[in-house]
Structure 1
Amino acid sequence: MIYAFDTYYLDDFANTICIAFDDWSSEKESHIFQEKTSIASDYESGAFYKRELPCIMSLLKKIQLQEDDLIIVDGYVTLNDDGKIGLGGYLFNALEQKYPVIGIAKNGFSVTDSQRRSIYRGESKSPLFLTAMGIDVDALVPKIQRMHGSYRIPTLLKKLDQLTRVV
């Protein structure tokens, strides 16, 4: 199973959604998990994980992960070649490195990361940015490219983003 997470922040709570789907080319989700939590931390530039990681970890308590499951986050797993990690890297470590974590980010990050791949989908001139831990990032490129949807953002990831905003 593939589990994709995203969180949207309102004034007094965070709305975290997880869409589960069976295959990279799935058009529809198998399950949707949702949880509203208090906001654990104010936004801190360079430390986004402090805000979002508690939300994801809380929602993960409702999900029974299996050995071959994969996790996608909206953001980065690795940030640079010096070992700095993003939200996904902190999640990978919090899960004791048992489950591969894949980061699919919409916005670029200016520091060089030899593990970051740019993926162009559809007719878009803007890439998605792929990073990962626990799985070969190059093996993921064709899987992300074949995700359902003819636009830059795959269908299920667009739906995930939209669901976080429905309160």
Structure 2
Amino acid sequence: AYTDDAQGYAVALAFTSWTDAGPAATYAATISPIAAYEPGAFYKRELPCLLAVLAQVDLGEVSCVVVDGYVTLGAEERPGLGQHLYEALGGRVPVVGVAKTRFAGVAPQVVPVLRGQSQNPLYVTSVGLPVSEAAGVVASMHGDYRFPTLLKLLDDLTKRAV
């Protein structure tokens, strides 16, 4: 999330099982200044925020990072936020991207996941973990609705901060 004064705010939730209803820990970071919005290079604005909040976490204890967005983009599989994060972490931690909206030109590396009674899928991508496995764990996450409980909480906490 971003404020009007060029600050970024990131939140991370730690959990022990994909089916957890609540976080084991919550981390937050404020970043200033942040990069200006650049079409086609969203990661330049988001990545520093994610790295700042993940700096508080022992990555040796992390089996996967979930991001709001795509790992790869389009049929040519251009690096998205998730791929840039994976590379910034030295490829040590798998990254799963969960997007609420379909990216134009989405290719076979994207798995749509229907949850609850919703007919609108979440779009799952991954690196360091087979995308079919990533889609399975997103489908198994706690919650009766389209958006898993923990991801909804994360979204709410991030928006509340700005």
Class of the TM-score when normalised by the shorter of the 2 chains: over 0.9
Is 2:3 the counterpart of 1:10?
A: yes
In proportion to residue count, which structure has more helix? 2
What is the letter of the counterpart of residue 115 of structure 1? Q
Matching of residue 73 in structure 1 with residue 73 in structure 2: no
In the alignment, structure 1 residue 108 sits paired with structure 2 residue 85: no
Q: Is the 8 A contact 1:121 1:150 kept in 2?
A: yes
Q: Which residue of 2 aligns with 1:148?
A: 142
Q: TM-score if structure 2 supplies the norm length?
A: 0.94
Over the matched positions of the two proteins, sequence identity in percent amounts to: 40
Q: Name the residue aligned to 1:86.
A: 80
Spell out, residue by residue over 1:65-98, the C-alpha distance to the aligned partner (whole angstroms, 9 max, x if none).
Answer: 1266100000000112323010000001111111
Write the distance in 1 (CA, Å) between the matches of 2:75 and 2:91.
19
Provide structure 2 residue ranges, at least 5 long, that are not aligned to the other structure: none
Aligned partners of 1:67 and 1:99 also within 8 Å = no
Whole-angstrom CA distance in 2 between matches of 1:142 and 1:135:
11
1:39 and 1:51 in contact (8 A); partners too: no
Deviation at 1:142, TM superposition (A): 2.1
Q: Which amino acid aligns with 2:114?
A: Y
Q: Answer with 65-74 or 50-59: which moved more.
A: 65-74
SS in 2 for 1:9: coil
Deviations 1:90-137 (A, max 9, x none): 001111111100000011101132210000000111110000000001
Report the counterpart of residue 23 of structure 2 in structure 1: 29
Q: Is the 8 A contact 1:120 1:128 kept in 2?
A: yes
Find out whether 1:119 has 2:87 as its counterpart. no
For residue 79 of structure 2, give the secondary structure of its aligned residue in structure 1: coil
Give the count of matched residue pairs: 160
RMSD: 1.2
| 1:2-45 deviation line (CA, Å, top 9, x unaligned) | xxxxxx11112111000110111000100000011114211122
